[in-house]
């Protein structure tokens, strides 16, 4: 009788665990059937600074990893008017479409919006006695540039980006 009671308790417990497992949302199981791009979760790249130093050119490393800025009008894309997509020079994450590019006259490629707000991340930057909003690649953390509120319609934003941080592929 005692054994039966104990078994009954364990049986109930197992039954509850089974129901909980079946009914609870199992995101991992669901996400395997959905393409990576549609999951809405950016798969982050974590490399050491040594690895980045080996992969990137000196200039790329300075801008992307040390948050440097290329000199205005010296980059390869500030005047680029071709149709295509701008990717992160470090990890290949798509960042901006040529449709969102505009001539800001600043000497840096400028866009009024990213390809997706999930592909870029922002952070407060208090360097050089200014408070600016830094923008970086959501996938690898590579520094891209800054965002300002003086852009054109429809967003009113200006993503001021270093050419060095980008790789353009024409359509
Ligand atoms: Fe990246």
- 111: in domain: yes
- 77: in domain: yes
Tell me the CATH number at 137.
2.170.150.20
Give 79 Cα–ligand 1 centroid separation in angstroms: 22
- 127: in domain: yes
pLDDT number for residue 13:
62
Residues lining ion ligand 1 (Cβ < 5 A) are 88, 90-91, 93, 137, 139-140, 142
Q: Which residues pair with 87 in a beta bridge?
A: 94, 167
Q: What are 43-91's pLDDT values in tens digits?
A: 899 999 999 999 999 999 999 999 999 999 999 999 999 999 999 999 9
Euclidean distance between CA atoms 160 and 78, whole angstroms? 10
Q: Is residue 140 annotated as part of the catalytic site, yes or no?
A: no
Task: State which residues form the domain around 112.
Answer: 48-170
Q: In total, how many domains does the chain have?
A: 1
Question: Cβ(63)–Cβ(74) under 8 Å?
Answer: no
- 95: in domain: yes
* Residue numbers of the chain with a pLDDT score lower than 70: 1-7, 10-11, 13-41
Euclidean distance between CA atoms 109 and 79, whole angstroms? 7
- 161: in domain: yes
- 21: in domain: no
């Amino acid at each position: 009788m005692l054994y039966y009671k104990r078994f009954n308790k364990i049986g109930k417990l197992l039954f509850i665990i089974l129901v909980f497992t079946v009914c609870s949302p199992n995101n991992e199981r669901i996400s395997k059937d959905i393409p990576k791009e549609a999951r809405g979760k950016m798969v982050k790249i974590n490399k050491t600074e040594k690895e980045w130093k080996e992969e990137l050119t000196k200039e790329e490393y300075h801008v992307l990893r040390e948050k440097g800025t290329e000199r205005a009008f010296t980059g390869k894309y500030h005047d680029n008017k071709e149709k295509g997509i701008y990717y992160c020079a470090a990890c290949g994450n798509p960042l901006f479409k040529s449709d969102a590019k505009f001539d800001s006259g600043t000497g840096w490629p400028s866009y009024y919006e990213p390809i997706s707000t999930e592909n870029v991340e922002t952070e407060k930057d208090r360097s050089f006695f200014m408070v600016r909003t830094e923008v970086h690649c959501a996938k690898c953390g590579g520094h891209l540039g800054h965002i300002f509120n003086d852009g054109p319609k429809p967003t009113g934003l200006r993503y001021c980006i270093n050419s060095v941080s980008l790789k353009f592929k024409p359509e």
